[in-house]
Chain A
Amino acid sequence: MDKLGLFFRWLLRKIPGPLVGLVLVCVVFSYLSPYFFTTRNLFNIFSQMSEIGIMAVGAALVIIIAGIDLSVGAVLAVTLMFNAWLYRDIGVPFAFSCLAGLALGAFIGLVNGVLSTYARIQPFVATLATMSACSGIALFITNGSPVTGFPPEFAVLTSERIFGIPLELIILISIYALFGFWLNFRPIGRALYAIGGNEEVARLSGIEIQKVKVLVYVIAGVLAAVAGLIVGSRLDAAHPTAGISDLLSVIAVVVIGGASLAGGSGGMMGTFIGLLIIGVLRNGMALLNVSPNLQPVVIGFAIILAVLLDRNSLAKR
């Protein structure tokens, strides 16, 4: 018994807390529902979570530098609406309207970054303001009505499979791999941890913190716009309120993935596991016919549990 306890402690120390949680949740659901562990359902989980997953990458980067971006969901909405409006109502070629949507995402990120660095507004407040503005503009563009009818090729983004794997999933994993590489190996990506760990130490070490911070907010903006493309492709429509309700899930994913809002910790692997935990919880509860109104309650418990476990495993080290 004692040995088993020691073994568990060793296990907890070696394996990141979020992964343990993920495995536990999967085991429980595969007992409760025979349908859970089928390939089709697993792909389903990803397609339900892909836009949140893409936004969570940006949110994780922002949280690593001890910032916060509340505008992600609103940026998704406004860039998607802008894209659809340019294409449908103005007649801009679709490739250009897509690029314009991404550029708008980058621009809003730039505004967030400049406000929270050079203008010295707390990122919570700066991005709260842009969130408000963006969700307003998203409604204003078409006076609140959704735009439908993208070119048929656009649906490929969320329906095509390559070697049996959904394209959407490939895109999602590529984005995680790309930024995981950036954070771990590229000097600027690595600087994010320095900035989040202690901003003044990073500055005195010659890291141009303001430029790096602006870059991070721009990346978060672009990724929100990419998530917008996925949503538009799946629904073949642009809704002015798409993505608005995703904000809390996005932050929950990052926090469950082991990042601290104090900055300096977290990473792509953890965030991906966090994404899977939330995805599996949502999917499993849907399979078990748990009321959708109760699902956020369970997610709330998951957040607290994840943070407590993470703190314990840190204390034991």
Chain B
Amino acid sequence: MFQNGHLHRGLHCHDLVKQFGPVMVLRSVNFSVQPGQVVALIGENGAGKSTFNNIVAGVLRPTRGQMWLDGIAYDPHSPNDAMTRGIALIHQEIRLLPQLSVAENLFMGRLPLKNGRIDKQRMYEEAEQILTELGVDVDPRHPVAGLSMAVQQGIEIAKAILRKPRYVIFDEPTASVGETEAHLIFEQIRKLKSAGTGIIYVSHRLEEIKEIADRVVCFRDGTQVGDWPIGDISRQDMINAMVGRDFTFEHRTPKNHGADIVLSVRNAARHGVFEGINFDVHQGEIFGLAGLVGSGRTEIVRALAGADRLDQGTVTIHGNTIRLTTPADAIRAGIVMVSEDRKGLGLTLGQAANRNIAMPWEKLLAKFGCVFGSTLHKLGNDQKEKFDIRGQMGLPVGAMSGGNQQKVLLAKWLVQSPRLFIVDEPTRGVDVGAKMAIYEILRGLAGQGIAVIVVSSELEEVIGLSHRVLVMSQGRQQGILTRKNATPQAVMSLAVAH
């Protein structure tokens, strides 16, 4: 059927491939959606859903492959081109201008004119009409600032629909709204559907997929691994399809960890971000934090590293309660964190690698109160050797490859032996070789008796490395699984719970 996409109505994609440099993000995806049909698209983080959406919506161009739109070849070269052809993408994050009114946001870029001036009356009337049709209860004259997330999401939908698209992609529209508000969005989707619009619906909430979709398509590692009518598939089947794969790296059972508790977190909370977090990490233990993006994993470790303040709860290191108000407090207590955002939070790319490595430790490195070039040079070379960094330590880190930058970042935080070592997405954007080297480093640290916390979106990574895995969903701790129980299915099942 795909080969003959041009013969059929609907949106058909055949053999879509997308490469970023050497990395294959999409490998041969086939996909189709009919007018008046809701197709749910599911998959783990990094399965290729966003890349696929962006290709369909003209944000990215595929490396290879064909698309047909209602029987005509379709190859959009810009989002605007895609919109003109009748395809709209509704982003997960809201992109409205808060100071402007609802109506102005709806008509942004194509405000109706009369005699060279904005025809406000017409603008408000048309806005009123589309909002009522969608069941969004808001005055079009009201500024967007201060409206609830669900209403803003509704305005985003209205904005897309004003251009009368034939196909709409929803990228996790319910990620940031509550249950009742989600139902408003479903209502809007049903209206679109009955008007004959084809819909691609991306979501991690499997329950709501059962409620709204006609078909479910699952992506894994950049390919389509399943396509079922909604009646034929259970929640467990969906979870299995998302995670079911052979692990590509050797699962070595880690060495047994010590009995001493290094870190214990009790009843930790940050308002509106996470709450009720309780766990201990032992000496030499690798403790995984799993969950979907936005579930509060990163926020927990940021609080432990003193980057954000806890509103509630206690943190103890070796039995001593510590005050964590600044990152300096955490570093003094022996807690260091390798942040997920290498460029924004980890390294100053414009400065030399050895300077970056020395940054947290300058007071310790000083002799007679001074940090000398020779000290930096030696430190740089020691770390270069220890972490197998390929590149010149005296040159700006920005000139190194992603994998080497990541090693520099690890080296920066391992100048001294920490008590607790936290890594957030330790292998994001690095190649397989560097990945294995980083895993070796983490296992080695645990072998020395350091407590390690690994936060990762890659199930295989977090399960493969950890003694135990804590699974988060929507800011709450859903459970702690031991290595024996931490199957991909079990972790994913907790991660999508709510």
Contacts and interface: CB of A to CB of B under 8 A. Distances in A.
Interface of A: 185-187, 190-191, 193-194, 197-198, 200-208, 264
Contacts of B327: 203-206
B217 interface: no
Contacts of B360: 205-207
A206 B305 CA distance: 10
Contacts of A186: 366, 369-371
B351 A191 contact: no
A207 B355 CA distance: 14
A204 B337 contact: yes
Given A193-B351, A194-B359, A264-B350, A207 B328 contact: yes
Interface of B: 305, 307, 326-328, 330-332, 337, 339, 344-348, 350-351, 355, 359-360, 362-363, 365-366, 369-372, 412
Nearest to A182: B370
Nearest to B412: A205
Contacts of A191: 362
B339 to A, nearest CB: 7
A194 B328 contact: no
Contacts of A202: 348, 359
A198 B326 CA distance: 17
Nearest to B330: A206
B372 to A, nearest CB: 7
A66 B412 CA distance: 24
Given A185-B371, A187-B366, A206 B328 contact: yes
A204 B339 contact: yes
Contacts of B350: 197, 264
B392 to A, nearest CB: 13
Contact of A201 (B337, B348, B369): B348
Contacts of B347: 201
A187 to B, nearest CB: 4
Contacts of A190: 362, 371
A186 B367 CA distance: 10
Contact of B370 (A185, A193, A194, A205): A185
Given A197-B351, A206-B360, A185 B372 contact: yes
A264 B359 CA distance: 14
Contacts of A206: 326-328, 330-332, 360
A190 to B, nearest CB: 6
9 contacts: A186-B369, A186-B370, A190-B371, A193-B351, A201-B344, A205-B331, A206-B330, A206-B332, A264-B348
Contacts of A200: 344-345
Contacts of A197: 348, 350-351
B221 to A, nearest CB: 32
B346 A201 contact: yes
A205 B359 contact: yes
B228 to A, nearest CB: 45
